[in-house]
Each structure stands twice: as C-alpha cells, then as structure tokens.
Chains A and B, each alone.
Chain A
C-alpha cells in the first residue's frame, strides 16, 4: 500500500469481519498487519508461489549434488573399488537427497525474504502512531487509495465496523509503503 486509509482494530475477529465485508464489496487493494497469521485473510491473498520455487530449487540442488559426485568419482578422478561401476548411483543417493533439501530450504528462506522486501529496518508504516502494537495485540488494515472503489468517507464505515481509529496516510517524497 502506498497511500490510503489505515484502520486499527483491537481484535482479530473485528479485523477479519471488516476485511471480509470490504472484500465482498469488491475492494481488492486491501492489506492487513497482524501479530499472527489469520487464515481467513490469508485466503484472499491467493496461493503463495514460494513452495513451487522451493520445489524447483530442490530439484536443481539435487541434480547439482549428483553431478558433483559423478564428476569427481567417475570422470575426473576415477577409482576402481572392487570392480564396482564408477558412476555408482546407489552410493550417490544420500548426498543427492541432502543437497536437494539444502537447496530447497535456502531457496524458501531467501524467497520469503525477497518477496517480503526484508530485511528492511525502516519503513514508513513504523512512523504511524500506534502501529508498533501490530506486533503484539492490535490488528491493522489498510485500504489503498488506488483501489477504484476507494472513497474518503470509508473512514466512517471502518469506524462503524469497530475500528479504534483511522489514519489517512499519503505517500511522501521518500517513498511510501510497497
């Protein structure tokens, strides 16, 4: 969200209800900031692509792990151990598996950071009064003013839905929230 209205709620239910209502009214540029994951809001976010990236990362990692072993032991420095095949696949499986898990996990962790734009220690949202409690016990929602259905009097609606307070934020020169 770059600029729009921020509303603060004191319970997950109030936030979830307000979110649901605006979503059914057709608002799509909604954001939420919560101390823990809310499944009902997660539903509107769509499916995360990170698991797919992890799958691809894992497959590439496993292939690379096998390739390294094959190159080392069958091509570049072949040692005949009791007449066994140089490309001895069964003996290469443990490391192939471990490399796949390692690559998938690293992909997942860094994909999570990159997609979330983290680490980012300074963020315009942190300047909003009271926002820090979103890490503890407050539930925040944002409606982007780029949403075609956005109107300034949404503030009143949100307050009727139980928002403790609403803040109008505008993108400043330093750049707003993504």
Chain B
C-alpha cells in the first residue's frame, strides 16, 4: 500500500468518477503513437483561415501597441486616480489563466491523478502563451517600454538599483521565473515525444527538424532514471511556484492602503480565482480541439467530468472569498472599507460589473452540480465562457471601483476604457489563439510516451506497486 492510498488519495486517483474510463483507446503502442501523431501530419483545411483570423488579431495588437508607444500612454482610458485599469486587469486575468496549466501538470502529477495525462501538455501550452500575453501589459503600461530593463538589478552607470521593498519588482521576478520554469517543464516533458515524432514524420525535412528539437533523446534507461526524478521535482517546484506567483500578483493590491485592496484574504482569493479562470480556459480550448481531432477516446467523458468538478470546487472557493471579503469589511468596521465593498461595488457607478461577476462566477457554475451537464461538452463550454467573462469582470470590479472613489471625494473620477484599450485586450486574445494554433499544428499536444506508460500501468497494477515499493524511481 502506498501513502496515497492510506490517506484516501487512492479514491481520487483510481475511481474519480465512479466508472468512466480515463482512456478508451485499445490497440498497440505503435497504433497509439501514430494515432496521436496523426494530427501533425494531416492536412487541416481550416487551419490557414483560423491562423489568418487570429493573426489579424495579433496584428491589431501590434498596431495598437505601436500607436501607444509612439503617441504615449494617454491613449489609454487611464486617468488619475484610476491609473491602473486595463493594464493590470488584463495582466491579472491572463496570468491567472496560465495557472491552471501549471496546476494540472504539477499538482495533479504529484497526486498521481491519471486524467491529468491526456491534457497536461495542452494545458502547459496554454500556460506559456497566457504568460506571454500577461507580460505585455506591465511592460507597455510603464509608458516608456524601452526602459523595461531598468527593473532588472544590473550595475548601471546611474548608480541606481530597483527598490525591492516594493511589490512591483516581486512581480517581475515572479512572472519571469514562472515563464522560464514553465518552458523547462514543458520542454522536458516533450523530449520523448519529439523523438517519436522524428521517427514517424513523413518527410526527411520534418524528421530532421523534430530530431533536432528532440536533442537526440534515445530513451536510455539511465536517462529515464534522471528524467523521472527531475520531472517529479519540477512538479514539486512548480506547485509552490504557481501559488507564489499569484500571491505576488495579489500583493500589488494587498500591500497598498486602498479600501477594497488592503486585505489578508487576497493571496488565497487570487490563487483560487486564477485556477478557476484557468480551468475555464482549459475547457474553452479543449472542447473544440476534442471535437475537431476526434479525441473522444483520449480525452474521455471522465476528463470532462473531472474538470467540471474542479471548476465547481474553485467556483465555490471564489464565492466563499466574496462572502468573507464582504463580511470582513462589515466586521472590521472601517467606514471606507464598508463604503467600498458594501455600497460602491454593488450599487455604485460600476455596480453592473458586480452583478455580472455574481451571475457568471457564482451562479452559472452551479449548473455543474448535474453530472449530465458536466459530461456534455456543449454545456461545459458554455459555462467556461461565462466563467471567463466573470473572472475578467471580477478583476475589473476589484481594480476600478476601488481606485475611482478613494478617500477624498474631490479626487473621485469615473473611468471609461478607450477603444485602444479594447483593441489591445482583443488583440491579446488573437495573439494567444495564434500561438496556440501553431502549437497544435507543430507539437505533439497529447503526451504520447506518458499515455503509453499509463496504459501499461493500468493493465498491470501489480507491476506498478512493485516499482513504487522499490523506491528507485525518484
């Protein structure tokens, strides 16, 4: 018996849904490999159109950012006191979306949850491209993006150093570390699959390209031994990392004095919200991909069911946090805090955003109590869209109402986003889709070697326990 089974994790692992299989695919290892590599070699008639549309979005992003850099940050709707606005709303939204990818690949790896295997590569890709979008916002929000390197402590001739007692340098380090570690984790996991792709590719050029990216991986048992150990530790490192990154993001708010921000619940509240929105994004991407590539046997109803449950759980954590936030505002007795949270947010000029948040984040997700809706791709997809809208609105609700009326009525000011703001937000969605499509086209997006390993272990639980008891694996 392993530790996991003794503590009840076995339940989560072996029988997550009471019977739906994690993998339906019969067939040999060769068939599985070819089946999962097939999308790379197949002709996708719709691909160039999809790429063109998302590419147009990416072009709009470049155009809007170029216009911003040339003209100045005044093109955005930001004002004083609402100096943050879209720049930080979009940053927090995108980085939060990334977190579910790391959660799936790292936390579920450590818990040995089997349904992770079919979707982790996919979710990691999502993470990478979401971090790319997130990183754009702080850089351009600085106004003079060409001085972004001032955030790095390098011995400059000005004799100046960054101020590390501010939360903004924490963000810089947290996000750049997160991006680097995500890339390493992702690429390490890819090596065996790139090696398989190099063998199976139909043309010599592709064989050569995949072989180069596989770095000459040849599946030596000594290499596997190091690989497994390293991969597991990567999971162990990425788990606290994902929590720390969004904690740092929440510190941007929590360590300031503003009503509605200065609160100790922010770190866990932000992490839960991040994973909530990220799981929603996984569903938004996975449901169409599953249908287009006919992956119903690899991404089974079991996966839909489990992700639906994760969405429900994180949705309730977020709902609970809203409740605690309101309760603490009342219980704390601070009149500014009470005004902000109990009056301004729900009934102020941005009150409609508050009600969108409640409807999307707290109400729509309750549909997932029904198992029938959880295993229905269409219903799950619809809920995921609501959650994404809700989570974006939540960041708006946290940021703009707090800023626009703070302590002094004389400094109150209404904020309206400009068309440039909307273009940049839409542009990042286009750019994200663009990168994700390229990823689907050229990278094995279902982890092939892990699927084969899982199949073997599921056929022979005895061998697996013997291996675990040997203790030589990690």
Q: Which residues of A contact B (CB under 8 A)?
A: 12-13, 16, 31-48, 50-51, 54, 58, 65, 68-69, 72-73, 76-77, 79, 81, 84, 88, 91-92, 94-95, 97-99, 101-102, 104-106, 108-109, 111-113, 115-116, 118-123, 125-126, 132-137
Contact = CB atoms under 8 A, between A and B. Distances in A.
A135 B473 CA distance: 20
Contact of B161 (A51, A76, A102): A76
B241 A95 contact: no
A105 B251 contact: no
B71 interface: no
Nearest to A12: B456
B165 A81 contact: yes
A25 to B, nearest CB: 18
A126 B163 CA distance: 53
Interface stretch (B221-229, B334-342, B433-441): B221-229
B466 A73 contact: no
B82 to A, nearest CB: 25
Given A94-B251, A119-B216, A35 B225 contact: no
Contacts, number: 221
A135 B196 contact: yes
B319 interface: no
A9 to B, nearest CB: 12
Interface residues of B, number: 72
B6 interface: no
B265 interface: no
Contact of A43 (B216, B229, B473): B473
In order of increasing CB-CB distance, the 5 nearest A-B pairs are: A39-B467, A72-B161, A137-B29, A119-B215, A43-B472
Interface of B: 28-30, 33, 153, 159-165, 169-170, 173-174, 177, 180-181, 184-185, 187-188, 192, 195-196, 198-200, 211-212, 215-230, 233-234, 237, 240-241, 244, 247-248, 251, 449-450, 452-453, 456, 460, 463-464, 466-468, 470-474
B169 A95 contact: yes
A49 B265 CA distance: 40
Nearest to B193: A135
Contacts of B223: 112, 115-116, 118
Name the prevailing secondary structure of the A interface residues.
Answer: helix
A13 B456 CA distance: 9
Nearest to B212: A121
B196 A136 contact: yes
A92 B167 CA distance: 10
Contact of A73 (B165, B195, B453): B165
A113 B215 contact: yes
A51 B452 contact: no
Given A32-B221, A37-B224, A40-B466, A94 B177 contact: no
B456 A72 contact: no
A68 B153 contact: yes
16 contacts: A13-B460, A35-B29, A36-B219, A36-B224, A44-B472, A47-B229, A72-B164, A73-B161, A98-B173, A99-B177, A113-B215, A118-B217, A121-B212, A135-B219, A136-B196, A137-B30
